[in-house]
Amino acid sequence: MTKAEMRTLRFQLQLTGLLFAVSVACAVTIVCCRGLFERWLFEKHAATYDSVPKRLQETVDLLRRGEPAAEALRKMTASDQESIYQCCLAENADIRATMARSLCQARPEFFVARAERTVVVGSRDQKLRAVEFLECSQCSSACQTVGELGKWARLRQRPELSQRLEAAEKKLKPFAKVEKSGQDSSSQGERGQERAKTNDA
């Protein structure tokens, strides 16, 4: 094909149409293969209690017994907290529940967000363990996160995960209400004190 032919309007339109067709085909392929990409991104939680560094084992022992470990967790790096989270997921259901409560009471901003990520990109077993982790945490931020994850699972048409998240949200609602009502009563008390000060003035 000569340069003159390549400059013609007909050739330019044909080239544009071809590029459009290829773009559409690529977009359809990506959408259809999204599940494969997600499986490729699955996390690998290979850590176990035995593999936790020695410096963390004392804290893990406290968490397994349900004893306070907030101070120790606050001093840890994100990497150490990650190791403890992975250890928690590898535990049996009872110990995982005990550890989840202690971890989320001490550092909800880290551990709730970490469990949320596992629900999104983990393997099937990891997803269910992470939902159980959130369910047992008994904190309001976990309740909100589980609700948002439930909407996400329904949107992505994952009925098993969606049903499990709905069950977790129901169990977490009382804890969200308790925290909210506690905040409301403290706010009412503050407003009452302000009114009393105003009347005294």
Q: Give the model confidence (pLDDT) of 20-59 as tens digits.
A: 999 988 887 877 776 655 555 555 544 444 467 888 888 9
Checking if the pLDDT of 181 tops 60, the result is: no
Tell whether 8 is covered by a domain: no
* 10-14, 40-44, 92-96, 119-123: least confidently modelled range: 40-44
Angle among Cα 161, 162, 168 to the nearest 5 degrees reads 90
Q: Is residue 173, in this structure, part of any structural domain at all?
A: yes
Amino acid identity for residue 26 in this structure: C
pLDDT tens digits, 121-173: 888 899 999 999 999 998 889 999 999 999 999 999 999 999 999 999 999 99
DSSP SS3 for 44: coil
Looking up tokens 């409560």, which residue turns up?
101
> Dihedrals φ, ψ of 182, to 5°?
-65, -40
Give the Cα separation of 99 and 102 in Å (integer): 5
pTM of the model: 0.66
Domain count, the chain: 1
Tell me if 87 is assigned to some domain: yes
Distance of CA 128 to the CA centre of its chain: 12
- Does a structural domain hold residue 9? no
Residue 25 lies in a domain: no
Measured at the alpha carbon of residue 127, what is the angle toward residues 94 and 160, in degrees to the nearest 5? 105
